[in-house]
Amino acid sequence: MEMNRRGFLHSAALAGTGSMIGLKKYAERSTRISKNGKLNVAILGSGFRGQSHIDLCLRRNDCDVVAIADIDEEMISRSQSLFQKHNSKMPKIYSDSPHAYLELLQKEDIDLTIIASPWRWHSDMAIASMEAGVYTGMEVCGGFSLDECWQLVNCSERTGSHLYFMENVCFRRDILAVLNMVRKSMFGELIHLEGGYQHDLRGVKFNDGKTAYNSGVEFGEMGFSEAKWRTKHSVYRNGDLYPTHGVGPIAQMIDINRGNRFMYLTSISSKSRGLHNYILDHPEGGNSHKNASIKFKLGDKVTTCIKTSNDESVILHHDTNLPRPYSLGFRVQGEKGLWMDVNQSLHIEGKSPSHRWEEASSYLKKYDHPLWVKYEQNAIGAGHGGMDYFLMHSLVEHCKNNEEPPFDVYDAATWLAITPLSEESISLGSHPVSFPDFTRGRWTERKNDFALNDRY
């Protein structure tokens, strides 16, 4: 490490922004490799997602996971067993309190933090990490307020620290193939796009032979993993709570914050029945269960329409509390045709039979993205069909070079903002609400180079 940051960290992360000049100097160095030639990585939140990130880091020869902050003994023990599996040096554990991550940032020499905690902690942790001059990877979610989004932007600009928003679906194989096709103008000029998060999350079931939970009926303190914290958002909030798996890939296809931007959205929410019925009908629930009287605020289907400055329309679906198969519901439509993922089909005028769908598979193969062609073998065994390999590779390589991430703090703020904006729109009877321009006008000059080089 080039300098000892502990003095800075003490005052910056724990007590505010007093040492910004020193931290900025640290953040501006051109590469971030530790003395031993590897990145020192810290994991903030080592639940199931954090453990997947630990596993991917430990598979690489350029990362040491040196520290973990978490507050759950079982999750810490599960994480430690990954180090045994990989025969890697055990990390330092910070677990004394929900704020133990601050002590970690103060005491450890970290090059990269990966934040995989519950949503409520993402921005606090990201801001502390950026204040500490550390390259910061932050897991996906929706935001809580526009103020929170601005705080992320302001912190990154003030400190010079990069925020990499870890939207893995941008690396999905079919998504990258379709992006390739979009860039080759196969669909013509794009007109309309759809995506979202459509995943039955009612029962957060888990059974690994050692531990078995079915925490769909029980949640909060009685729940396990995401049921401990995620279900509660359905009690108190009504909006698109998880927009980024849909909007991230769409943003790459229409250059959002790079020549194009989101102008306004309007959201509509349906009635809420799914979670209540689930509790009533479940063998562990029933009419007399204490959760049977809870009134869930989140509409079972939240639909958000966005207008872009380039005159495209975008629809985002949020649908997590009804019985349904998983689908992110992508649709990419232009002057010459469209692709949809739910029926794995496309139609291209002049190529496809008139008025008929064609199976997309031969096109997806033909236009397979060069990154997948080159790195397919490396991605075997990585989470979510391999796309998590590409995400981790991109994060690590951008961190090593201290480079601007493909999904940066402006994208994070814009995508996170969809949640509070959709909540506001719904509360106003689906009134349109405007997106702030988090780039402060720089969207007109920025260029989209996602997935155009070997670091992605």
Ligand X SMILES: NC(=O)c1ccc[n+]([C@@H]2O[C@H](COP(=O)([O-])OP(=O)(O)OC[C@H]3O[C@@H](n4cnc5c(N)ncnc54)[C@H](O)[C@@H]3O)[C@@H](O)[C@H]2O)c1
Residues forming the site for ligand X (CB under 6 A): 44-50, 69-72, 75, 98, 101, 116-119, 121, 139-141, 168, 225-226, 228, 384
Shorter beta-carbon distance to ligand X: residue 69 or 177 = 69
Closest distance between ligand X and the C-beta of residue 443, in Å? 25
- In angstroms, the CA 454 to CA 71 distance is 37
Cα-based distances in Å from 441 to 50, 259, 437: 35, 10, 7
Closest distance between ligand X and the C-beta of residue 390, in Å? 12
Closest distance between ligand X and the C-beta of residue 125, in Å? 7
Closest distance between ligand X and the C-beta of residue 58, in Å? 17
In SS3 terms, 134-185 reads as CEEEECCCCCCCHHHHHHHHHHHHHHCCCEEECCHHHHCHHHHHHHHHHHCC
Residues 122/127/133/136 CA torsion (nearest 10 deg): 20
Shorter beta-carbon distance to ligand X: residue 119 or 278 = 119
Shorter beta-carbon distance to ligand X: residue 64 or 139 = 139
Closest distance between ligand X and the C-beta of residue 55, in Å? 13
Which residues are registered as beta bridge partners of 327? 198
Q: Is 434 helix (H, G, I), strand (E, B) or coil?
A: strand
Shorter beta-carbon distance to ligand X: residue 54 or 140 = 140
**H or E element, residue 63:** strand 63-69
Shorter beta-carbon distance to ligand X: residue 78 or 301 = 78
Closest distance between ligand X and the C-beta of residue 415, in Å? 12
Closest distance between ligand X and the C-beta of residue 169, in Å? 7
Ordered strands of the 433-434 beta sheet: 358-359, 345-348, 337-340, 331-334, 190-198, 313-319, 302-308, 262-269, 433-434
> CB neighbours (10 Å) of residue 447?
9
CA nearest neighbour of 10 among 2, 112, 18: 18
Shorter beta-carbon distance to ligand X: residue 42 or 426 = 42
Shorter beta-carbon distance to ligand X: residue 49 or 398 = 49
Shorter beta-carbon distance to ligand X: residue 71 or 294 = 71
6 contacts: CB under 8 Å, gap ≥ 6? 106, 107
145 contacts: CB under 8 Å, gap ≥ 6? 420
Closest distance between ligand X and the C-beta of residue 237, in Å? 14
Q: Contact, 452 vs 297, CB < 8 A?
A: no
- In angstroms, the CA 235 to CA 220 distance is 11
CA nearest neighbour of 316 among 247, 216, 385, 415: 247
User: Per 3-state DSSP, what percentage of the chain is helix, strand, and coil (rounded to 5)?
Assistant: 40, 20, 40
Closest distance between ligand X and the C-beta of residue 54, in Å? 11
Shorter beta-carbon distance to ligand X: residue 22 or 98 = 98
**Closest CB to ligand X belongs to which residue?**
47
Maximum distance among all Cα pairs of the chain, rounded to whole angstroms: 69
The token pair that represents 291 in the structure block: 């959760």
Closest distance between ligand X and the C-beta of residue 244, in Å? 8
Closest distance between ligand X and the C-beta of residue 168, in Å? 5
Using the Cα atoms of residue 380, residue 386, residue 391 and residue 394 in order, give the sign of their dihedral.
positive
Shorter beta-carbon distance to ligand X: residue 101 or 438 = 101
Shorter beta-carbon distance to ligand X: residue 159 or 320 = 320
